[in-house]
Amino acid sequence: MKIGELATRTGVTTRLIRYYEQQELLEADRAPNGYRTYTEAHVERVSRVAGLVQAGIPTRLVKVLLDTEDAAARKQPTCPREVAEQLATELVGVQARIDCLTRSRDAIRSFLTATQHEVLLREEREPAVAV
């Protein structure tokens, strides 16, 4: 598939996909004409990268994490102490963001319940039906 289809399938812009390549988070195959080509594995990789970035993990650590996962999949020794220290530090920040989002979610729920709009909580979980 070409970059446009990859972008459509993953919800990630072509510009961001190129950025992921520049950051060595993704490596495209090349057709004889020089065009980038992608496979299902690229769809999974872009989705994984985008999810990690959206979770607030900096791309430099996304690279480290993905390299570690790739090495583990190849049954190679992984995660030197320096990498483990970087990830442990990042984990503290990720947990802080999760805690903040959890508090925000709970506050919104409480407000909707207290203002007798609890029905909106059920609607939020149900997919919208196109008419």
Per residue in 38-66, pLDDT tens?
A: 999 999 999 999 999 998 888 888 988 88
Q: If pLDDT is split at 50, 70 and 90, which confidence band does 16 have?
A: very high
Q: Could you read off the pLDDT of 68-114 as tens digits, one per residue?
A: 888 777 777 667 788 788 888 888 988 998 899 999 999 998 888 88
Residue with tokens 């190679």: 76
State the pTM of this model: 0.64
Instruction: Report d(CA 94, CA 41) in Å as an integer.
Output: 26
Q: What's the chain's Rg over C-alpha atoms? A: 20
Residue 30: beta bridge partners?
36
- β-partners of residue 29 are 37
CB-based contacts of 2, cutoff 8 Å, min separation 6: 35, 36, 37, 38
pLDDT band (50, 70, 90) for residue 12: very high
